[in-house]
Amino acid sequence: MPMMHLPERLEAVSGLDLHMHSTASDGALTPGALVALCHSRGVTHMALTDHDTLAGVDEASTAAEQFGIRLLPAAELSAQWRGLTIHVVALLPTGPSVEMDDALAAQAEARVARSKEIARRLEAIGLENALTRAREQAGSERPLGRPDFARALVEAGVVPDMATAFKKHLGAGKRGDVKAHWPYLSDVIDWTLQSNGVAVLAHPLRYGLTRRKRGLLLDSFAEAGGEAAELVSGFQNADVTRDLARQLDERGLYGSLGSDFHFPGGHLAPGSMSPVSRCDVLPVWRHPRLHDFAG
């Protein structure tokens, strides 16, 4: 019988994953298939966190109910802070507010405008018909993301692989990293709070920041009403986790955990991530607004 009550402490948890993607954004599995995979891997508590959309949540919820899995409606929202693209996981235990619905519609429009700009910039380096090619790679009408353009670059032989596509053309600070369309960090936190949700700073270690700058980001995030950050995202070094725990603890932020799973066959799977050693950071599921989810 799987554990349906989540433990009081972060290091004691298993069968939980609060960061995963489906075909509603840049994931490979349909929401239903993702939930089925979670079930087969012993995940009992999950959040579907597609980029800037809740489009997969209905299908995922239906599947989760069939498997007896607790599922939090959620989205990973793109934002900007001091010229950087920052991701915020909005955990929405009671679903989106009107403000959030409007905001997600605006995010979808921002993605359309942004993909045109990315296409323009990639055409300048030799990827003809970039938008059409990215759309082919997406294989559906969902909003495009940088991975679609990365695949198009590989397919066209401009770069040998995805890693190179990001490293040379699409990663932070490269010409295809278009962020002008995203709202400010404080705005996405506001929408989350207006939805009775909890704003979680996604993967704080993956923005290429120094420890000091990461501290400033965490300060800004907390000041704006953000209440949690991902203490573990996928696989990371244990010393780094301990140090990040200190930074969360100093600011009274709750800690969250997620794989950031996108597709099977890689090194990540739902529910798979580095363990947390003993620390004082409270798990995000102990947040009062997530009481029902924790069981």
Binding site for Mn ion (CB under 5 A): 26, 76, 87, 202, 260
- Judged by beta carbon distances under 5 to 8 A according to partner kind, the member of Mn ion, ligand AMP, none in contact with residue 287 is none
Can you tell me which residue has the tokens 């380096």?
125
Give the separation between CA 244 and CA 266, rounded to whole angstroms. 25
Give the separation between CA 91 and CA 189, rounded to whole angstroms. 11
Query: In terms of Cα–Cα distance, which of 109, 97, 107, 39 is closest to 73?
Result: 97
Left if phi > 0, otherwise alpha if psi is -120 to 50, otherwise beta: which for 225? left
Among 15, 56, 93, 145, which residue interacts with ligand AMP (rule: CB under 6 A)? 145
Structure tokens at 33: 């298939």
- Judged by beta carbon distances under 5 to 8 A according to partner kind, the member of Mn ion, ligand AMP, none in contact with residue 162 is ligand AMP
Give the separation between CA 147 and CA 160, rounded to whole angstroms. 14
- 191 or 285: whose CB is closer to ligand AMP? 191
CA 214 from chain centre, in angstroms, equals: 18
Contact 31, 48 (CB under 8 A): yes
Give the separation between CA 12 and CA 7, rounded to whole angstroms. 6
User: Which x/- pattern over 35-74 shows residues binding ligand AMP (rule: CB under 6 A)?
Assistant: ----------------x-----------------------
**Nearest distance, CB of residue 84 and ligand AMP, angstroms:** 12
User: Which x/- pattern over 161-180 shows residues binding ligand AMP (rule: CB under 6 A)?
Assistant: -xx--x----x---------
**Nearest distance, CB of residue 4 and ligand AMP, angstroms:** 30
Query: In terms of Cα–Cα distance, which of 166, 149, 288 is closest to 227?
Result: 288
**Nearest distance, CB of residue 178 and ligand AMP, angstroms:** 9
**Nearest distance, CB of residue 261 and ligand AMP, angstroms:** 10
SS3 293: helix
Dihedral angle at the C-alpha atoms of 180, 49, 269, 267, nearest 10 degrees?
A: 0
User: Which x/- pattern over 78-117 shows residues binding ligand AMP (rule: CB under 6 A)?
Assistant: x---------------------------------------
Using CB atoms, what's the residue nearest to Mn ion? 87
Answer yes or no whether residue 181 interacts with ligand AMP by CB under 6 A: no
- 4 or 112: whose CB is closer to ligand AMP? 112
Interface residues with ligand AMP (CB under 6 A) are 26, 51, 78, 145-147, 162-163, 166, 171, 262
